[in-house]
């Protein structure tokens, strides 16, 4: 062996190391290995072995250094030139150079919570389709909605696998197999059909009344966002697990369940952008510790609920097939895999939208007054505002909620999809999406595109939902109101299953609060209302700012 190595010149050794670096790029491109062992073999072990070609010419340490530099420099250079060059499948789509090079650049914007604003800026600069990563594009075009997310749309993209952190059984939201997704979605549909929603109404009403009575007793300034968080968390526990949470009554978060849920959002969104990190976090002590603890607690709570059986028809009554609708009951691990989804989707989203709706109402007294007038018309003093019979007729109630959802949908950056492996790609509207490309319609940018909603595109203007939905149009100002571009709950077979329940929660709470309470902005928001919006963060689920208010019982004249 040593005699063979002696005949290898330094130049030959460098050529071999460079060629092997190019071959490593082909392996990464073809197989996309994520396991740390395989990556280590390609990045560390290969140049270590190749350093033997230089040991007869250079000292051992020098051989190692030269081999590592030559091999990995070639590997990285090849990757960079391919990603920014004309032969990449996404070369036709414009975008920042740093985004084309690596998803790490987008991860930085994501970590700070301003990804939604950054991508909107990219659309303004590059047009309706932007390359936001080496193998990712974002679209701002209503024509792409149905082909991407409709009945014949694409399956879920890798972001969902990253967020799930490779559990034994993937949750519904991460299912990439459309057949399996359809099967897993059936119990969710039963849990939120019309009959089931009717059964939830008394539970929502009890929690709403509890919150309103508590707010009546508060003196001075209070953090309304905090109480809304507690309201939706307690109701989520009722709806998903049949009870078990009384945070509005002052029960301490002793197990830090709520704290872990809130604090894990930033970690999960980084795993969304860099899904390969899920293979690494388990190897780093303390890494994503709060996220791991939160998921573990969700599984424990769901397991306890399933093993204890149901007292009421809650979500797991359907997920565990306790209604007997399926021929075969699912295994326990599959049932509890949706626990984290139930907790986050059932609490964080609704609390965020409610908080922002209250903020916009208090910042726009004219809209607040019109909504008060509408509530007073349908629910005068003594009437039960938790009675849902008048909700469908309340234009200003729905207009205020829809306008909040337009400006700040709960999922600001939209649902990521990817063409089925082996399909070769798919045409999404006028845009061809090559195989291996993650793609999403960017909800925040779509909703704030003046071609879809104008005038007052960036302002809270609920009138657009009343004018746009009537036969009477403004004679002075042209109204653009493209409801086909309004997708706050996503669309298609994988849309938000709990949409109607969330709307019920929000309508009932707003009606009861406005009927019985007066609110006023307080603290810094009284002088600087824009501070609240500046605190909004895009960490998959919209994270709202702090809403300080003065609340008092409403005096009816």
202 CB-contact burial (10 Å; exposed 0-12 / middle 13-18 / buried 19+): exposed
Taking residues 501-512, report their average pLDDT: 96
**On the CB side of 472, how many CA atoms lie within 13 Å of its CA?**
3
Element (H, E) at 407: helix 395-407
Q: What is the pTM of this model?
A: 0.92
Task: Report the percent of the chain where pLDDT is more than 90.
Answer: 61
Cα–Cα dist 486/124, whole Å? 19
From the list 399, 415, 448, 409, the residue with the least C-alpha distance to 536 is 409
Contact 316, 305 (CB under 8 A): yes
Q: Is 513 marked within a binding site?
A: no
Q: Is residue 18 predicted with pLDDT exceeding 80?
A: yes
Report the greatest alpha carbon distance in the chain. Answer: 103
φ, ψ dihedrals at 183, nearest 5°: -65, -40
> Mean pLDDT across the chain, nearest whole number?
89
Taking residues 104-115, report their average pLDDT: 93
DSSP assignment, residue 294?
Answer: H
- Between β-strands 438-441 and 136-139, what pairing exists: parallel, antiparallel or unpaired? parallel
Element (H, E) at 359: helix 339-363
pLDDT (tens digit per residue) in 173-206: 888 888 899 999 999 999 999 999 999 999 999 9
| Res 452: pLDDT | 97
Q: Is residue 474 predicted with pLDDT exceeding 60?
A: no
55: helix, strand or coil: coil
Residue predicted with more confidence, 269 or 130 = 130
Cα–Cα dist 325/336, whole Å? 18
- Between β-strands 136-139 and 548-553, what pairing exists: parallel, antiparallel or unpaired? unpaired
Contact 540, 269 (CB under 8 A): yes
| Res 527: pLDDT | 82
Handedness of CA 220, 221, 226, 227 (dihedral sign): positive
pLDDT (tens digit per residue) in 202-257: 999 999 999 999 999 988 899 999 999 999 999 998 998 888 788 888 765 555 77
Residue indicated by tokens 């974002």: 138
| Res 150: pLDDT | 94
List C-alpha distances in Å: 464 to 7, 446, 491.
80, 16, 22
Residue predicted with more confidence, 312 or 64 = 64
Q: Which two tokens stand for residue 316?
A: 């797991």
393: helix, strand or coil: helix
List C-alpha distances in Å: 161 to 156, 274, 416.
9, 10, 11
Task: State CA 278 to chain mean position distance.
Answer: 17
Q: Which two tokens stand for residue 455?
A: 């005038």
Domains along the chain with CATH numbers = 2-84 (no CATH), 172-553 (1.10.630.10)
Cα–Cα dist 74/81, whole Å? 10
DSSP track, 80-91: HHHHHSTTSTTT
Q: Which of 1-15, 124-138, 511-525 has the highest mean pLDDT?
A: 124-138
Q: Is residue 287 predicted with pLDDT exceeding 70?
A: no
Cα–Cα dist 257/81, whole Å? 46
Taking residues 40-56, report their average pLDDT: 90
| Res 386: pLDDT | 96
| Res 135: pLDDT | 96
How many residues are present in the chain? 557
pLDDT (tens digit per residue) in 60-90: 899 999 999 999 999 999 999 999 999 999 9
Of 151-155, 293-297, 434-438, 551-555, give the lowest mean pLDDT range: 293-297
Q: Which residues is 538 bridged to in the sheet?
A: 542
Cα–Cα dist 141/485, whole Å? 8
From the list 491, 464, 482, the residue with the least C-alpha distance to 398 is 464
| Res 255: pLDDT | 57
Of 29-43, 66-80, 421-435, 506-520, give the lowest mean pLDDT range: 29-43
Q: Is residue 4 predicted with pLDDT exceeding 60?
A: no
Taking residues 511-537, report their average pLDDT: 91
Cα–Cα dist 376/442, whole Å? 38
Give the confidence band of 289 by pLDDT, cuts at 50, 70, 90: confident
Taking residues 383-388, report their average pLDDT: 95
């Amino acid at each position: 062996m040593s005699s063979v190595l002696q005949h290898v010149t330094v130049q030959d050794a460098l050529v071999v190391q460079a060629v092997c670096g190019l071959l490593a790029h082909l392996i990464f491109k073809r197989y996309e290995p994520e396991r740390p062992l395989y990556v280590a073999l390609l990045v560390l072990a290969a140049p270590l072995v190749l350093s033997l070609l230089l040991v007869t010419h250079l000292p051992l340490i020098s051989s190692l250094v030269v081999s590592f530099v030559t091999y990995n420099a070639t590997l990285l250079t090849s990757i960079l030139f391919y990603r920014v060059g004309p032969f990449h499948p996404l070369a036709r789509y414009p975008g920042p150079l740093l985004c084309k090079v690596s998803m790490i650049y987008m991860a930085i914007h994501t970590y700070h919570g301003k990804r939604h604003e950054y991508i909107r800026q990219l659309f303004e600069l590059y047009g309706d389709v932007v390359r936001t990563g080496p193998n990712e594009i974002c679209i701002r075009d209503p024509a792409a909605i149905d082909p991407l997310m409709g009945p014949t749309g694409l399956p879920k993209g890798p972001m969902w696998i990253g967020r799930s952190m490779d559990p034994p059984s993937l949750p519904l939201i991460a299912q990439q197999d459309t057949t399996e997704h359809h099967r897993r979605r059936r119990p969710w549909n039963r849990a939120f059909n019309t009959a089931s929603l009717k059964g939830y109404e008394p539970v929502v009403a009890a929690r709403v009344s509890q919150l309103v009575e508590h707010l009546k007793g508060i003196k001075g300034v209070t953090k309304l966002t905090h109480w809304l968080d507690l309201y939706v968390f307690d109701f989520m526990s009722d709806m998903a697990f049949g009870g078990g949470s009384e945070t509005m009554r002052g029960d301490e978060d002793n197990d830090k369940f709520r704290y872990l849920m809130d604090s894990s959002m930033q970690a999960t969104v980084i795993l969304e952008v860099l899904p390969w990190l899920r293979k690494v976090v388990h190897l780093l002590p303390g890494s994503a510790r709060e996220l791991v603890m939160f998921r573990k607690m969700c599984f424990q709570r769901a397991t306890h609920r399933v093993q204890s059986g149901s007292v009421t028809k809650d979500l797991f009554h359907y997920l565990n097939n306790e209604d007997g609708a399926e021929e075969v009951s699912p295994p326990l691990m599959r049932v509890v895999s949706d626990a984290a989804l139930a907790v986050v989707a059932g609490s964080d989203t609704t609390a965020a939208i409610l908080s922002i709706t209250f903020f916009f109402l208090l910042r726009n007294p004219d809209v607040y007054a019109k909504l008060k007038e509408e509530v007073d018309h349908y629910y005068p003093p003594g009437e039960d505002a938790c009675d849902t019979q008048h909700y469908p007729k309340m234009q200003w109630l729905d207009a205020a909620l829809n306008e909040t959802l337009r400006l700040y949908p709960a999922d600001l950056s939209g649902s990521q999809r990817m063409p089925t492996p082996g399909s070769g790609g798919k045409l999404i509207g006028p845009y061809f999406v090559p195989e291996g490309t993650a793609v999403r319609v960017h909800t925040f940018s779509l909703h704030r595109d003046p071609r879809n909603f104008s005038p007052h595109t960036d302002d809270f203007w609920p009138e657009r939902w009343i004018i746009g939905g009537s036969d009477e149009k403004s004679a002075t100002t042209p109204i653009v109101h493209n409801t086909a571009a309004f997708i706050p709950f996503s669309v298609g077979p994988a849309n938000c299953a709990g949409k109607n329940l969330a709307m019920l929660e929000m309508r009932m709470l707003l009606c009861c609060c406005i009927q019985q309470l007066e609110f006023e902005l307080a603290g810094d928001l009284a002088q600087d209302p824009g501070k609240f919006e500046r605190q909004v963060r895009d960490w998959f689920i919209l994270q709202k700012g702090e809403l300080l208010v003065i609340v008092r019982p409403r005096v009816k004249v």
